Amino acid sequence: MYFKNKIQDIDKHSTEAEIEYLVSNIFELLNYSCKQQKSGNIEGNKSRVDILLFENKQVKKEFEIKLEDAKRNRLPIPTDKILLLIEVKKPSFGNWKEAEEQIYRYLNQYKKDYGILTNGYKWRLYDKSKVFYGDKNYIEFNLEKMAENDFENQEEAALFYYFISKDRYLNNAIKRENEEIIKDQNTIKKTLKEILYEKPYDSIVFKIAKNIYIKEFHSNPNITAEELNKILEESIIFVLRIFFIAYIEDLFDETLKNHIAYRTYVSFRYYFYDKVLNGDEGYGKLIKIFELLDNGNENFEFPMFNGGLFSKEKARYLNNNELLSKDELKEILVKVFFFDRENALNQKFVQYSKIDLKSFGELYETLLEYDLRIAENTLHHIFKNGTYCIQTDEMISLKKEKDLNKTYFTYYRGDIYLTSRSLDRKKSGAYYTPDDLTEFMVVSAIEEQLKNKSPLDLKIIDNSCGSGHF
């Protein structure tokens, strides 16, 4: 009710000062202590954030004492006790891009991760903790619309309150949030690796490659290395296509489910999976979906996905209507969209939006470690010391710890198999640099520049960027 009344107190003609007064009142009500700045100086640069938020009046008072000392001695403003920065605009202000650059400049200058940009109606809560460049990371709430609906959406109202509450910025609440997020991300990535390629005998990449080998080459053991590479390339394309669809459908669920054409003819969540589950559609329909994603359809206001991922010409083996049976396709969709049958029964989709888009690049780069080969004699896939490896009958018989080995799959002469070739990666010149190293390199290279410049003002070149997510 308080928020509704306050929103009704403003209109399109309200001044910035009036909005600033409103915002200060809201945060004082939430037990913050607010300081409205008149001027400031950060490392020699003039900087005036409209509102600074502190834990309580005592902390604010200590800040003000240090601030006066800093002014007398021409020192930077002390920022360690500031919880949040708030930049205020009047309701008629329209250049959000400019305001966004402004709040990010302040966050960089104050060395803070969290800030709020608002015009009274629209509230954007920014999180810079994991963003060094590119798109800005924020969640947006429209209090005007929420008030018009009498805050009937209690989940949205509760989420807004949670994001602006003081407790979130104290007591390591955000740290715990991030730990949970990282835990979920690692679980998703680990399971995704297992189903896509890490269990070579039972992976989706191997399933597609094996079917291409059987249906297109009739299991010919004299297949060339070039043809094997082409089979693997198209198998990887299939995996990337399915993962991409799963990712965007989770990330943009609200948008895509409201797009009538996508929901009716494409959506795996709301259309295609159920059709496959009921036996009404099969792989032939999936080919048509790939074509629609590649070419788009103006009649349905459906844009094409540029980039070539769904190009028919680049993956001719994938255009075989008989490549996958309905049961095989259903098994793949269950694995990618649910991970297991229990989740599928409960319609519990994997939340791929929890992982970064760069995982798409990591997936591709990791798949470059694998190779398709034809068995020249009997081979066994063994899991040992945390990894899968190929061993012959002779190798197993020579090992004293034979009883400790478990054969997960056996390949006979002429069978196709998938194996890691990490030692051969020099052939392609493709390497994946671990996150801890790339983040250190990024921070070391551009952190100083970001203190005084907008990320969009920087120019960066990486001559060996691989998939480009670096």
Instruction: Give the phi and the psi of residue 165 in degrees, each rounded to 5.
Output: -70, 145
Dist CA 365 CA 369 (whole Å): 7
Say which residues have a Cβ less than 8 Å from residue 246's Cβ, sequence separation at least 6.
268, 336, 337, 350, 352
User: pLDDT tens, 10-28?
Assistant: 888 899 999 999 999 989 9
Asked if residue 97 and residue 217 are part of one domain, the reply reads no
Whether residue 89 lies inside any domain: the answer is: yes
Asked if residue 157 and residue 15 are part of one domain, the reply reads yes
Token representation of residue 425: 């990666």
Query: Which residue in this structure is represented by tokens 């954030």?
Result: 49
CA-wise closest residue to 467 among 309, 312, 290:
309
Asked if residue 191 and residue 142 are part of one domain, the reply reads no
Whether residue 13 lies inside any domain: the answer is: yes
Look at 103 and 303; give whichever has higher pLDDT: 103
Asked if residue 78 and residue 197 are part of one domain, the reply reads no
Token representation of residue 295: 């070419």
Q: Looking at residue 47, which CATH number applies to its domain?
A: 3.90.1570.30
With a cut of 60, say whether residue 104 has pLDDT above it: yes
User: pLDDT tens, 273-298?
Assistant: 999 999 999 999 999 999 988 887 77
Q: Which helix (H) or strand (E) holds 254?
A: helix 253-257
Dist CA 465 CA 461 (whole Å): 9
Whether residue 384 lies inside any domain: the answer is: no
Dist CA 154 CA 168 (whole Å): 19
Is the pTM higher than 0.75? The answer reads no
Look at 250 and 443; give whichever has higher pLDDT: 250
Look at 44 and 186; give whichever has higher pLDDT: 186
- The residue segments making up the domain with residue 469 are 433-470
User: pLDDT tens, 192-227?
Assistant: 888 888 888 889 999 999 999 999 999 898 999 999
Look at 44 and 125; give whichever has higher pLDDT: 125
Q: What band does 428 get if pLDDT is binned at 50, 70 and 90?
A: very low
Mean pLDDT of 152-166: 83
Most confident of the following: 264-273, 416-425, 430-439: 264-273
Q: What band does 8 get if pLDDT is binned at 50, 70 and 90?
A: confident
Mean pLDDT of 408-420: 88
Whether residue 412 lies inside any domain: the answer is: no
Asked if residue 221 and residue 160 are part of one domain, the reply reads no
Q: Which amino acid type is present at position 205?
A: V
Mean pLDDT of 439-452: 71
Asked if residue 337 and residue 273 are part of one domain, the reply reads yes
- Determine the 3-state secondary structure of 264 from DSSP: helix
Asked if residue 51 and residue 70 are part of one domain, the reply reads yes
Look at 366 and 316; give whichever has higher pLDDT: 316
The mean predicted confidence, pLDDT, of the chain is 83
User: pLDDT tens, 334-372?
Assistant: 999 999 999 999 999 999 988 877 777 787 788 888 889
CA-wise closest residue to 84 among 112, 60, 118, 117:
112
Asked if residue 253 and residue 352 are part of one domain, the reply reads yes
Asked if residue 7 and residue 139 are part of one domain, the reply reads yes
Select from 336, 368, 400 the last residue of a domain. 368
Whether residue 284 lies inside any domain: the answer is: yes
- Determine the 3-state secondary structure of 389 from DSSP: strand
Mean pLDDT of 20-49: 78
Select from 352, 368, 384 the last residue of a domain. 368
CB 437 within 8 A of CB 367: no
Look at 160 and 428; give whichever has higher pLDDT: 160
Dist CA 117 CA 139 (whole Å): 11
Whether residue 418 lies inside any domain: the answer is: no
Asked if residue 294 and residue 213 are part of one domain, the reply reads yes
How many angstroms separate the Cα of 5 from the Cα of each of 10, 22, 145, 184, 218? 9, 11, 13, 39, 73
Whether residue 115 lies inside any domain: the answer is: yes
Q: What angle do CA 122, 124, 127 make, to 5 degrees?
A: 175
In angstroms, what is the C-alpha Rg of the chain? 28
Alpha carbon 49 to chain centroid, angstroms:
31
Q: What angle do CA 432, 437, 438 make, to 5 degrees?
A: 70
Query: Which residue in this structure is represented by tokens 């009921």?
Result: 278
Asked if residue 198 and residue 162 are part of one domain, the reply reads no
* Domains identified in the chain, total number: 3
Q: Which amino acid type is present at position 152?
A: E
With a cut of 80, say whether residue 112 has pLDDT above it: yes
Select from 145, 171, 197 the last residue of a domain. 171
Asked if residue 222 and residue 343 are part of one domain, the reply reads yes
Q: What band does 123 get if pLDDT is binned at 50, 70 and 90?
A: very high
Token representation of residue 320: 């075989």
With a cut of 60, say whether residue 40 has pLDDT above it: no
Query: Which residue in this structure is represented by tokens 């297991």?
Result: 340
Percent of the chain with pLDDT over 90: 37
- Determine the 3-state secondary structure of 469 from DSSP: coil
Whether residue 146 lies inside any domain: the answer is: yes
Q: What band does 230 get if pLDDT is binned at 50, 70 and 90?
A: very high
161-170, 208-217, 321-330: lowest mean pLDDT where? 161-170
**Ranges assigned E (strand) in 21-144:** 33-36, 41-42, 45-46, 51-54, 84-88, 114-118, 122-127, 138-142
